[in-house]
Chain A
Amino acid sequence: MADAEQTESAPSEPLDLVRLSLDEMVFVKLRGDRELKGRLHVRKLHNAIARESRLTVVQAYDSHCNLVLGDVEETVYTVEEDEDGEESVKTLKKQSEMLFVRGDSVVLISPQPNT
């Protein structure tokens, strides 16, 4: 088992990946709809929020995956069905300068290279 000095730098548990992302760009996938449980296959959902995603800077986190993110762009994906039964995915983007995200909505957190 690594000692405290080592864990400060080398990732040894899952949340260390988040710690190393502090002040870095991350991609966070969230639950938009309770039935979804983070699945990427959104085709089956009708007129429901299928997926939400963010690309942003982590300011803080805790063991519940509660997060505070800065310079956030939120993308909400919704699937809509027109009269002919054709499904189309709509995206809605929202900006926020500082955002607290409750951990129980978080599906995954992925570090992103700065773009």
Chain B
Amino acid sequence: MLFFSFFKTLVDHPVTVELKNDISIRGTLKSVDQFLNIKLDDISVVEEVKYPHLSSVKNVFIRGSVVRYVHLPGSVVDTALLEDAARREAAQASAKAKAG
């Protein structure tokens, strides 16, 4: 749930999604769901010459499982908040593991 919430805070920001087949797609993050599927608007492929397949595509839905990286703009990420959230999620997970 942590990264789902995290990505929701990045909606409308420019991101670059690198897929497991090495294609990098730059675009505006429009939405994200619990599987970390991603919708991007106004896309461009980073190495257009090498991967011309998507030249005419304007927006995409990317299945979460094919994502390798998401390059994020460093300025919009509150690292202290994110770190706290990670600690809280870890505490919750270990509490759940003990209860269950």
Contact = CB atoms under 8 A, between A and B. Distances in A.
A98 B6 contact: no
A9 interface: no
Interface string A54-68: 000001111100101
A88 B74 CA distance: 35
A100 B69 contact: yes
B56 interface: no
B67 A22 contact: no
Given A4-B94, A4-B95, A22-B86, A59 B77 contact: yes
Interface residues of A, number: 29
Interface in A42-100: 49, 59-63, 66, 68, 70, 96-100
A99 B93 contact: no
Given A1-B98, A98-B71, A100-B69, A59 B79 contact: yes
Nearest to B72: A98
Sorted from nearest, which 8 A-B pairs have the closest CB atoms? A97-B74, A60-B86, A100-B70, A98-B72, A98-B74, A60-B82, A19-B90, A102-B67
Interface of A: 1, 4, 7-8, 13, 15-16, 19, 22-23, 30, 49, 59-63, 66, 68, 70, 96-102, 104-105
